[in-house]
Amino acid sequence: MNPTLPEVEKRLQDRYQLLVHEHLGHAHSDASGPRILPNETSTKAAAQAAWRFYDNPRITFSRLAQPLLQAAAASASQHCRDFALIAIDWSWLNYRDHASKTDRLAGPGGVLGYKLLSALLLSDHDGQPLAPLCAELRTAGGRLSSRLDRLTPSPTALDGLQEVMRLAANLPLGKRPVFVIDAEADSVFHWRLWQRRRWLFLVRGDDDRCVRLGGKDGPEMLLPDVAQKLRRQQAFRPVRKVDYQGHPAWQYLAEAAVTLTRPAWLHRRVDGQYKRLVRTGKALGLRLVLSELRDRRGAVLERWYLLTNVPQAVPAETIAGWYYWRWKIETFFKLLKSAGQQVEHWQQDDGRAILKRLLVSGMACVLAWRLASSPAPQAEEARRLVMRLSGRQVEPGRQYTLEGLLAGTWVLLAMAAVLGQMPVNRLMETAEFVMGGSVESTKEPLRREAG
């Protein structure tokens, strides 16, 4: 008898839930799949079931994105106070040795794979990651996106942001989004476009960005020259002590109003050739927040030119803190790569299957972030238990790491699965046999030490 539609849907939902749980485990670079939980019938059956899941036409990108968007809306209402920070960044996934992936794209430095775009929701209170809102892969054939269920032509990196930002702006987050992006988004054309749409942004400017200090009739200066002028005016003030590459440093801030009046230059493909096009626009007034990290002698270790249209009511200290939290998306990429999921060793056949699995693993990260940020009374005990199960060490003063929460949660789920299959005494007997009696023999010294 063929299964009914509700039965098929339930099986797909159960398989999705199981795949999310399996992606909590810390993967290994020599393993192509996630860590299989004990409630699977066999590793071969689990691999075949996962392959069928990713190949199923019912499992679309937009469908897999729905749990992430629902988690984002729920988390924003709980963890975002005034704004919803959305960090956006790109990262190359290198599959240079995966010849079976015929839709790979050539990237910088000999990379052969896919260019990943991710938009990550952060708390404006403490920078805690909450949920990925969007994931896109640029392939040799075009763009794959969690927003769409079809392959589309690949736009330029910044042109493609408009659709991602529109998605975030229309989500029921309950807070106004602020898009936090690195210097790759230093583009006056796009800033003017975002300003017309009333989207708030915070972007790090390049050293060669030219602005007018004050209004549109103010002196035109490069950003480094603005910083030097503000230093001469003693406009910088210390705001906090920070850690910089393992050494203490002090953050100094200064702020100025700037206006951008120059035309924008765009590189566009016209009649089969790339041409440089000029686009004039209205004068754009922005806030410039300058952040300097200085050592104890006052030498500048690092400087950020932060340009934003966030309302003046938000202090410069808050703006600088928001940009500092942007690095959380880098830790997300690290979780996907070397620190957790080992995405660059996945053996799926093409970008479509890779993106589907990325959305599944993104939900596993959401579970770890949810545990990390939970204010529930039992959350502290749960974090301690999960970290103990992970076997990970943490730096003094830290209670957990996201890698540890991922790995420890998988162990907890594995324990629950085993205890659901056999009683505790049977489990202990099996452990005694495997260890040759050493499990019981270790208890007596511990009892004497406790006594």
Low-confidence ranges of the chain (pLDDT < 50): 1, 445-451
Q: What are the beta bridge partners of residue 154?
A: none
Tokens of 110: 């000999």
Q: For the chain, how long is the longest CA-to-CA vector?
A: 84
- CA-CA distances (angstroms) from residue 346 to 17, 35, 77, 351? 19, 13, 35, 11
What is the predicted pLDDT for the residue at 397? 76
pLDDT at 451: 46
Locate 311 and state its tokens. Answer: 């309302």
Burial class (CB within 10 angstroms; exposed 0-12, middle 13-18, buried 19+) of 31: middle
Beta partners for residue 47, in sequence order: none
Name the H helices within 171-307. Answer: 188-196, 223-232
Domains of the chain as residue ranges with CATH: 5-59+349-418 (no CATH), 61-336 (3.90.350.10), 421-450 (no CATH)
pLDDT of 449? 44
Predicted local distance difference test score (pLDDT) of residue 215: 82
At residue 450, the pLDDT reads 45
Q: Are 150 and 144 in contact (CB under 8 A)?
A: no
Determine whether 233 is exposed, middle or buried from the number of CB atoms within 10 Å of its CB (0-12, 13-18, 19+): exposed
Distance, CA of 193 to CA of 349 (rounded, Å): 38
How confident is the model at residue 237, as a pLDDT?
A: 94
pLDDT digits (tens, 9 = 90+) for 367-410: 989 998 888 889 999 998 989 888 888 777 788 888 888 888 88
Which tokens is 102 given? 């015929």
Tokens of 191: 């800033």
